[in-house]
Chains A and B, each alone.
Chain A
Amino acid sequence: MLLRDIAHSRTGDKGNLVTITLIAYRMEHFALLEREITAERVTRHFSEIVDRPVSRYLLPHLGAMNFVLHRPPAHTVTRSLALDAHGKCLGTALLAIEIPGGPDTEQARENR
């Protein structure tokens, strides 16, 4: 299934940093997120975009985790030539990650 089936995300930016919050729709899926969506995996996923390892912060009681992505210093919001200079669309790229097992999509929809 896609990460999108069990979690939602929001993206923010500060200078050349992009922050992505990932939140489980249901608390019981947090352990799966914690196991599958590691800082290493997110670093690999965004290897074309980040210039050093991604940091991950966990908030288990909220079913949430926070990722901090460092883009190269030239890629600040005010300077980047990219169409999405903020990097605001990156959180939805995270939701495209495939994760094993868990409920199928129909089941996941009921789970939300």
Chain B
Amino acid sequence: METVRLGAGAGYSGDRIDPAVELARLGKLDYLVFECLAERTIAIAQQNKRTGVSEGYDPLLVERMRAVLPHCVANGVKIVSNMGAANPIAAAIKTKEIARKLRLPGLRIAAISGDDILEHMPGNYRFLESGDPVKVVEDRLVSANAYLGAGPIVEALHEGADIVLTGRAADPSLFLAPLIHGFKWDTSDWRLLGQGTVIGHLLECAGQLTGGYFADPGYKDVPDLAHLGFPFAEVSADGSALFSKVEGSGGCLTRGTCVEQLLYEIQDPSSYITPDVIADFSNVQIEELGRDLVRVTGGAGKPKTDELKVSVGYHDGFVGEGQISYAGPGALERAELAQEVLTERLRSYRLDELRFDLIGVNAIHGQKLSPVASRPYEIRLRAAGRANARETVAMIPREMEALYTNGPAGGGGVSISIRETIAILSTLIPSELPKPTIHFEES
């Protein structure tokens, strides 16, 4: 193949579907890639699968496939996605059913399993964030999913898959795999894998490359943000890539959007560790060739490590929350009085943590960074607290609501919630521990 065109169809589980349809119709793509698994998404999917709330695959799988499949088949576009989440095989079966209903026969759909290592999670591995061994949360574990690399996806494509559905895989690997497959890249050519990882990293958040999460009126203006288009990359066999978006779609693709996304969620740019390579972003060149046309070259790499990252999800109690508004003269004083009253009323409950915010004053950047230049006309008091028992945190919304008749004057618009927390911590395991498998369905 001379070039491979990769489109980004989603940057997270709930992402907008119209831009993906636009790419499938008009992007002249070879592959449409949907990245839909944030750190916590898979733990929630595992929990939903276990409790029978859902099958465990992406909640928008059906809607997305229905919308893009006819265009993908008409235009010869293959699909790669981690929408398999906690149940790739069920996702493949569902996709087969959708394809049959749409009268699209003969599609080969691969499901890649093996990232779920909950049953084999060794308790002596230590969490990267806290240094504690995994066994401290052993009785509360919900999920343990290893970040698989491009390897199994490449194999599925090699075996003729039109659609590949994975569980947890490293985000850039979803994009790197079609490049390895299409160009027959040597998987020990660390420069190519590094450059392919740069391309994947730029695409994996979809609209964040084309002007999403970018607009700052008067400073960084983005045309037609409402109709934001998603990006694609036309990649050559040497790894150089031209990034653009569908003509007429909203947004913009510039040096500025590309540099912001290149370093997004990166720590040391010379050492971005994935299951496939240690990518080096430090000499990446970004050139604007024209309107919404950017060339990216210069990604490099070093040999991969012999470990894989695992996201471990565990039950971490409950969070109770409540909010109330005060407005007009004395709004701040009444909100502060409400906070004092709540602090006193909640004192006797065994909350592990309790936090108050004055929304509009100091809730986001904290006390030190928030200037108190003027008295706010209106203000919203928020209380949030954590405990192991649902009944305990339930006292926060109850006491918040009670401020109507038992608190300062003029409070209104109370909102309350209680949610279960599934916390995520990470650990490293030997690369050979997970045993990926590929299962095929055909429509």
Contacts and interface: CB of A to CB of B under 8 A. Distances in A.
Interface of A: 4, 8-10, 12-17, 19, 21, 23, 25, 45-49, 55, 57, 59, 61-64, 66, 68, 73-74, 76-79, 81-84, 89-90, 93, 96, 109, 112
Given A48-B367, A63-B259, A81-B319, 10 more contacts: A16-B129, A21-B264, A47-B368, A61-B283, A62-B259, A64-B259, A78-B421, A81-B386, A83-B363, A89-B364
Contact of B267 (A19, A90, A112): A19
A79 B263 contact: no
B129 A76 contact: yes
A23 B285 contact: no
Nearest to B271: A57
B256 interface: yes
Contacts of B373: none
B365 A93 contact: yes
Contact of A78 (B219, B364, B367, B422): B422
Interface stretch (B55-63, B114-122, B352-360): B352-360
28 contacts: A8-B219, A10-B213, A14-B267, A19-B264, A19-B267, A21-B259, A21-B263, A48-B367, A48-B368, A55-B268, A57-B267, A63-B259, A64-B263, A66-B267, A68-B267, A76-B425, A78-B39, A78-B421, A78-B423, A79-B316, A81-B384, A81-B386, A82-B363, A83-B357, A83-B359, A83-B384, A93-B365, A109-B218
Interface of B: 39-40, 128-130, 213-214, 216, 218-220, 256, 259-270, 281-286, 316, 319, 353, 355, 357, 359, 363-369, 382, 384-386, 421-426
A97 to B, nearest CB: 10
B129 A73 contact: yes
Contact of B355 (A4, A78, A82): A82
Contacts of A83: 357, 359, 363-364, 382, 384
Given A48-B366, A78-B424, A79-B423, A66 B266 contact: yes
A51 to B, nearest CB: 12
B365 A13 contact: no
